[in-house]
């Protein structure tokens, strides 16, 4: 198999991919790259703050941070059409929600389980939704959202609204049976779905090679004729470039596509995971040499963006995140009567 | 006698079972190299090898399906489903294959498979990490369902389940892995090592607690409380705080059920309160209530009461409103004592 090493990331990216899906790194204007940078930084600062609130006991239970993987969702979601396309993902969902245009305040307030949370405190970190923003969750069951993504794609096609569905899942979820049932149906019915595999190399504590017979996950659709591409998910411009090609392919009615995003999470699988299954050096190496935000920052500096501009951006984002955290801490908890609302449409 | 928490007791049981029989294997997500998300299988792969304690992909249906095939050929697999909330993709294999192979082959296939899975709430897990789905399994003929409430039972029951030739669903109440839970969420958990009770003392070697035998945790004359798992401890708090002379029975296994112990107790007390964390309608409490009514009707002084989770998905932020804690149990005790 043809493999090539990208100079920047050190990640090996396959080159034997579908000819209709040949892509190039996106050439961003200064303003565009600044926007990507801001979005990635917002996610990072939001997640860092969520981690702190968890440490303080303000967020309970399970909390999965997106730190390290920001370029994936930013590169892809910057290329979709808000108000037209749908997004669905697993439990590591905070970043995807922010990129759907959801106010950080109501996301953070959901993490703390408050009535003002986007799902009124009923869902928590893993289970959040906003139909208004085209965000269909936030799913705690590994892989379950993938079939939902196929259904969302079906609905877009059925209604003829021109929208597409983006279904994110991880390298761990890629081994669930229903993923393959969904790939088959999506290709059979030519559904407008992008199956995005965020390959961060570890399914909870299990490295990909311990649990996957084929680790090149972009090939997982081959037996269903679903084409796949592999992308350097630590490079927001590579992701954006690949996403444009994939979106065009899917939106034109040719059927679904798999995008395997090679990425990495810096934190444990969840807040309770000390991540002893990998070396500190491995994480440090990724942070130092391959951080998506640092890479964008360097590119911005090369474009002549001054340090003062970047500092102002960071300050503004910290302020937004602090406001979100204050809001999430001060909002009241839901009324106990809410326990029985929305079980079914009617009461019983 | 060594003191162990429930995780250590389960780990010890698995270690003993692996050492005793080459047919025993352990498989599941993160159980091998990582040692399990709750550490129940820590060190077992190192001690017993990668062919006997091994990681699977995240594929619950596949894990159970493969285990059923292994068991049909004479192995004794102990698959782990990481959270009971993840077990539903495997339901097809459990219900249609594991529970039925023996019957439809007229006994040709035994099915010595023990499915371990942490279950229950009280850890802010929200709706996909808190459920108590035991009623789904007790409803299926051909499965046994076991739920320990302390370290001694956890090891003994698990060894009995692994030795059993029928499929066993072994639900581990994760809220009490590290220490018993009195039902008051704002008091810190006392670790099992500091609990002054023989159930925290666990022999190193092999022993079993037989399936189908309940345990009278506390003798009493006023009212019988039927509970299992975490709720045994919460029921204990309610009894202590109410001053009612309650007889607490830890069912330990739901199927097979020790109906004789229940009968003897209810006939003595004339009153019965059933406590479980699972949702109410169609829950195992409904079955218990029906059985008590059928078997003890003429001895009952008051209607049987159930204290359960509400008929809602497990909520994220209203966890303690949902959880059937001591306050609600005391209310039920008051109600049965009034009649």
Task: Report yes or no on A348 lying in a domain.
Answer: no
The 10s digit of each residue's pLDDT in B196-229 is: 999 999 999 999 999 999 999 999 999 999 999 9
Q: How many CB pairs under 8 A join A and B?
A: 113
- In the prediction, which pLDDT does A11 show? 59
Residues of chain B with pLDDT > 70, as a percent, come to: 100
Specify which residues B146 forms β-bridges with. Answer: B170, B253
How far, in whole angstroms, is CA B79 from its chain's centroid?
A: 16
Which residues neighbour B221 within 8 Å (Cβ) at sequence distance 6 or greater? B245, B247, B268, B269
Which residues neighbour B96 within 8 Å (Cβ) at sequence distance 6 or greater? none
Give chain B positions within 8 Å (CB) of A176: 58-60, 89
- The Cα–Cα gap between B50 and A76 comes to 39
- The Cα–Cα gap between A163 and A253 comes to 11
Give chain A positions within 8 Å (CB) of B321: 336, 339
How confident is the prediction along chain A (348 residues), in pLDDT tens digits per residue?
Answer: 455 544 344 457 877 778 889 999 999 999 999 999 999 999 999 999 999 999 999 998 899 999 999 999 999 999 999 999 999 999 999 999 999 999 999 999 999 999 999 999 999 999 999 999 999 999 999 999 999 999 999 999 999 999 999 999 999 999 999 999 999 999 999 999 999 999 999 999 999 999 999 999 999 999 999 999 999 999 999 999 999 999 999 999 999 999 999 999 999 999 888 888 999 999 999 999 999 999 999 999 999 999 999 999 999 999 999 999 999 999 999 999 999 999 999 876
- In the prediction, which pLDDT does A13 show? 80
Q: Is A178 on the interface with B (CB under 8 A)?
A: yes
**Residue B239 to chain A, least CA–CA distance (Å):** 26
Range of the domain at A36: 3-324
The 10s digit of each residue's pLDDT in B112-154 is: 999 999 999 998 888 899 999 999 999 999 999 999 999 999 9
Task: Report yes or no on A136 lying in a domain.
Answer: yes
Q: Which residue of chain B comes nearest to A278, CA vs CA?
A: B34
**Residue B13 to chain A, least CA–CA distance (Å):** 23
**Residue B116 to chain A, least CA–CA distance (Å):** 18
- The Cα–Cα gap between B223 and B39 comes to 38
State whether B317 and A113 contact (CB < 8 Å). yes
- In the prediction, which pLDDT does A76 show? 98
For all residues of chain B together, what is the average pLDDT?
97
- The Cα–Cα gap between A257 and A194 comes to 5
State whether A210 and B55 contact (CB < 8 Å). yes
What is the domain-level CATH number for residue A208?
A: 3.40.50.970
Task: Report yes or no on A329 lying in a domain.
Answer: no
- The Cα–Cα gap between A117 and A135 comes to 15
Helix-then-strand count for chain A, H and E = 11, 9
CB B140 within 8 A of CB B93: no
Specify which residues A229 forms β-bridges with. Answer: A259
Q: Which of B163, B203, B179 is nearest to B5 (CA)?
A: B179
Give chain B positions within 8 Å (CB) of A206: 29-30, 33-34, 55
Work out the widest C-alpha separation in chain B, in whole angstroms. Answer: 60
Judged by DSSP in three states, A273 sits in coil
> Under CATH, which architecture does the B3-183+188-192 domain have?
3-Layer(aba) Sandwich (3.40)
Give the burial string for B83-104 (b: 16+ CB within 10 Å, else e): bbbbbbbbbebbbebbbbbbee
Which residues of B are known to be catalytic?
129
- In the prediction, which pLDDT does A58 show? 95
Preceding omega of B196 cis (within 30 degrees of 0): no
Q: Which residue of chain B comes nearest to A115, CA vs CA?
A: B317
Task: Report yes or no on A336 lying in a domain.
Answer: no
Give chain A positions within 8 Å (CB) of B83: none
CB B302 within 8 A of CB B274: no
Q: Which helix (H) or strand (E) holds A232?
A: strand A228-232
- The Cα–Cα gap between B43 and B29 comes to 15
Residues listed for chain A? 348
How far, in whole angstroms, is CA A96 from its chain's centroid?
A: 5
The answer on pLDDT for B233 being more than 50 is yes
* Residue B323 Cα distances to A84, B190, B308, B312, angstroms: 41, 19, 8, 11
Task: Report yes or no on A127 lying in a domain.
Answer: yes
CB B108 within 8 A of CB B65: no
Q: Is A224 left (phi over 0), alpha (psi -120 to 50) or beta?
A: alpha
Task: Report yes or no on A11 lying in a domain.
Answer: yes
Complex ipTM above 0.95? no
The count of other CB atoms within 10 Å of the CB of residue B293 is 14
Task: Report yes or no on A342 lying in a domain.
Answer: no
Q: Would you list the domain boundaries of chain B?
A: 3-183+188-192, 212-338
**Who has greater pLDDT, B68 or A9?**
B68
- The Cα–Cα gap between B5 and A344 comes to 40
Residue carrying the six token digits 């009770």: B197
Q: Which two tokens stand for residue A268?
A: 């444990």
**Residue B171 to chain A, least CA–CA distance (Å):** 19
Q: Which of B33, B128, B315 sits opposite A339 (nearest CB)?
A: B315
> Under CATH, which architecture does the B212-338 domain have?
3-Layer(aba) Sandwich (3.40)
- In the prediction, which pLDDT does A9 show? 45
CB B32 within 8 A of CB B45: yes
Q: Which of A64, A55, A105 is nearest to A329 (CA)?
A: A105
CA angle B156/B90/A200 to nearest 5° reads 100
């Amino acid at each position: 198999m043809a493999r090539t090493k990208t100079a920047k990331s050190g990640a090996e990216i396959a080159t034997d991919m579908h000819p209709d899906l040949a892509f190039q790194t996106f050439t961003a204007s200064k303003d565009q790259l600044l926007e990507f940078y801001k979005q990635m930084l917002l996610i990072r600062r939001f997640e860092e703050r969520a981690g702190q609130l968890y440490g303080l006991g303000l967020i309970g239970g399970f909390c999965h941070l997106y730190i390290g993987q920001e370029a994936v969702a930013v590169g892809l979601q910057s290329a979709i059409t808000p108000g037209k396309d749908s997004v669905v993902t697993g439990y590591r969902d905070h970043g995807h929600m922010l990129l759907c245009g959801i106010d950080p305040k109501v996301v953070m307030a959901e993490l703390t389980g408050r009535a003002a949370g986007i799902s009124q405190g009923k869902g928590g970190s893993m289970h959040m939704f906003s139909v208004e923003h085209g965000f269909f969750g936030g799913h705690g069951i590994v892989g379950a959202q993938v079939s939902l993504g196929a259904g969302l794609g079906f609905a877009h096609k059925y209604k003829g609204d021109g929208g597409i569905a983006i279904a994110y899942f991880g390298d761990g979820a890629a081994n669930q049976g229903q993923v393959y049932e969904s790939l088959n149906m999506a290709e059979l019915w030519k559904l407008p779905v992008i199956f995005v595999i965020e390959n961060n190399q570890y399914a909870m504590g299990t490295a990909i090679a311990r649990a996957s017979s084929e680790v090149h996950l972009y090939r997982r659709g081959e037996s269903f004729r679903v084409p796949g591409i592999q992308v350097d998910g630590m490079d927001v411009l590579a992701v954006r470039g690949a996403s444009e090609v994939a979106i065009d392919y899917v939106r034109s009615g040719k059927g679904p596509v798999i995008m395997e995003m090679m990425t990495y999470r810096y934190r444990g699988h969840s807040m309770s995971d000390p991540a002893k299954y990998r070396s500190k050096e491995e994480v440090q190496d990724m942070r130092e040499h391959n951080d998506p935000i640092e890479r964008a920052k360097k590119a911005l500096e090369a474009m002549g963006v001054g340090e003062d501009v970047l500092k102002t951006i960071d300050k503004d984002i910290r302020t937004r995140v602090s406001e979100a955290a204050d809001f999430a801490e001060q909002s009241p908890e839901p009324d106990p009567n809410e326990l029985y609302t929305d079980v079914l449409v009617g009461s019983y | 006698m060594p003191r162990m928490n429930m995780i250590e007791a389960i780990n010890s049981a698995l270690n003993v079972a692996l050492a005793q029989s080459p047919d025993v294997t352990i498989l599941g997500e993160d159980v091998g190299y990582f040692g399990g998300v709750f550490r129940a299988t820590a060190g077992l792969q190192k001690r017993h090898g990668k062919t006997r304690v091994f990681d699977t992909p995240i594929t619950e249906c596949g894990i159970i399906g493969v285990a059923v095939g292994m068991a049909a050929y004479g192995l004794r697999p102990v698959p782990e489903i990481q959270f009971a909330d993840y077990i539903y993709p495997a339901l097809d294999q459990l219900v249609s294959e594991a529970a039925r192979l023996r019957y439809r082959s007229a006994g040709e296939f035994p099915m010595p498979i023990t499915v371990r899975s942490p279950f229950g709430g009280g850890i802010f897990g929200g709706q996909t990490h808190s459920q108590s789905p035991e009623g789904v399994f007790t409803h299926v003929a051909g499965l046994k369902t076991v739920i320990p409430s302390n370290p001694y039972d956890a090891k003994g029951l698990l060894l009995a389940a692994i030795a059993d030739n029928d499929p066993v669903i072994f639900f581990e109440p994760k809220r009490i892995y590290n220490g018993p839970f009195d039902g008051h969420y704002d008091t810190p958990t006392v670790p099992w090592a500091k609990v002054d009770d023989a159930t925290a003392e666990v022999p190193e070697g092999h022993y079993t607690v037989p399936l189908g035998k309940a345990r009278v945790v506390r003798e009493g004359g006023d009212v019988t409380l039927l509970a299992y798992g975490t709720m045994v401890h919460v029921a204990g708090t309610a009894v202590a705080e109410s001053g009612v002379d309650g007889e607490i029975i830890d069912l330990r296994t739901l199927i097979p059920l020790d109906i004789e112990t229940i009968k003897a107790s209810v006939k003595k007390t004339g009153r019965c309160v059933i406590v479980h964390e699972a949702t109410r309608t169609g829950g195992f409490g409904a079955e218990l209530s029906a059985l008590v009514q059928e078997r003890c009707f003429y001895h009952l002084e008051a209607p049987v009461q159930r204290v359960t989770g509400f008929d809602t998905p497990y909520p994220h932020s209203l966890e303690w409103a949902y959880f059937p804690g001591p306050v609600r149990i005391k209310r039920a005790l008051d109600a049965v004592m009034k009649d």
